[in-house]
């Protein structure tokens, strides 16, 4: 097994991040400093990171979390803010699949299965992500068309989106926005480009997994069917 795959599967980080950790000289295999791209015997070799032995988990955990606003998607925040791991009561080392902005709420996955995390996050599979977006004021049909066709930002056209008008209450407009690419802050950037102020941004679906009635700050195990949706996409 490639070393970065082993580290990722152990729950350390994504494969790309694991390569960075290997390059930094923090990873040793059988007492020798490891190099990127090396192969290991996951059943026999002793792998350590910062002096701590790394092992593959024997039991995998797959959770969905309704992330509230005001929580960072990191294990420890350099600014001392609350993190999503403050919401999870487990001794198992978990990491998040993808990220949500500090002020964005909604569905996020937590797991200790690095291969599953890489699969869900990999851009090749184009798993849909659906957001409920509430913006100030009323949306014009022309603005909806721009979002659907791909907003142009600094001369570059962003990916198309599926946009559906859900409700206008005389003050704010609620929409469903579905994207299948994971550009940084993509939804917020889309609305910034057309001059709309977002009041609330919430992710409600990833692939076939819906947030449903899960309360803010609570977790729930993914079902076998939900996990299989992603695994069978390989």
Domain with CATH 3.30.70.1560 in the chain: 128-206
Of all residues in the chain, what percent are helix, strand and coil, respectively (each to 5)?
25, 30, 45
Q: Is 11 a residue whose pLDDT tops 80?
A: no
User: CA 35 to CA 55: how far, in whole Å?
Assistant: 18
Closest CA to 187 of 65, 104, 106: 104
Domain with CATH 3.10.290.10 in the chain: 3-53
Which strand (E) or helix (H) includes residue 103? Answer: none
Which CATH superfamily, name and number, covers 3-53?
RNA-binding S4 domain (3.10.290.10)
Q: Annotate 159-177 with DSSP letters as a single string.
A: PP-EEEEEEE-SSEEEEEE
Span(s) in the chain for CATH 3.30.70.580 = 62-124+212-231
Residue 40 CB coordination number (10 Å): 18
Q: What is the pTM of this model?
A: 0.80
pLDDT tens-digit series, residues 159-199: 999 999 999 999 999 999 999 987 889 999 999 999 999 99
Catalytic machinery residues: 101
Mean pLDDT of 118-140: 92
Q: In sequence order, which residues have a C-beta less than 8 Å from that of residue 64 and are 6 or more positions away?
A: 107, 108, 109, 110, 209, 211, 214, 219, 220, 221, 222
Residues paired with residue 202 on neighbouring β-strands, in sequence order: 105, 132
pLDDT in tens, 23-80: 999 999 999 999 999 999 988 999 999 999 998 887 889 999 999 999 998 877 788 8
- Which CATH fold topology does 62-124+212-231 show? Alpha-Beta Plaits (3.30.70)
Which fold is adopted by the domain 128-206? Alpha-Beta Plaits (3.30.70)
Between vectors from CA 141 to CA 138 and to CA 143, what angle results, nearest 5°?
Answer: 75
CB atoms within 10 A of CB 105: 22
């Amino acid at each position: 097994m490639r070393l970065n795959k082993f580290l990722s599967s152990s729950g350390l980080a994504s494969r790309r991040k694991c390569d960075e950790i290997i390059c930094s000289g923090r990873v040793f295999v059988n007492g020798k400093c490891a190099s990127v791209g090396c192969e290991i015997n996951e059943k026999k070799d002793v792998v350590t990171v910062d002096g701590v032995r790394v092992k593959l988990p024997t039991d995998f955990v797959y959770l969905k979390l309704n992330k509230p606003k005001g929580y960072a998607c990191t294990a420890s925040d350099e600014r001392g803010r609350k993190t999503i791991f403050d919401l999870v009561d487990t001794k198992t080392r978990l990491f998040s699949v993808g990220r949500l902005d500090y002020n964005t709420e909604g569905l996020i996955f937590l797991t200790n299965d690095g291969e599953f995390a890489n699969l869900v996050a990999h851009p090749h599979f184009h798993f849909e992500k659906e957001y409920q977006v509430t913006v100030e004021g009323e949306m014009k049909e022309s603005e909806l068309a721009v979002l659907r066709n791909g907003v142009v930002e600094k001369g570059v056209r962003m990916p198309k989106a599926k946009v559906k008008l859900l409700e206008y209450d005389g003050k704010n407009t609620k929409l469903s926005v579905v994207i299948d690419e994971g550009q940084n802050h993509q939804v917020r950037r889309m609305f910034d480009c057309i001059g709309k102020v977002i009041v609330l941004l919430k992710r409600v679906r990833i692939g076939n997994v819906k947030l449903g009635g899960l309360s803010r700050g609570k977790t729930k195990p993914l079902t076998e069917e939900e996990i299989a949706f992603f695994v069978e996409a390989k």
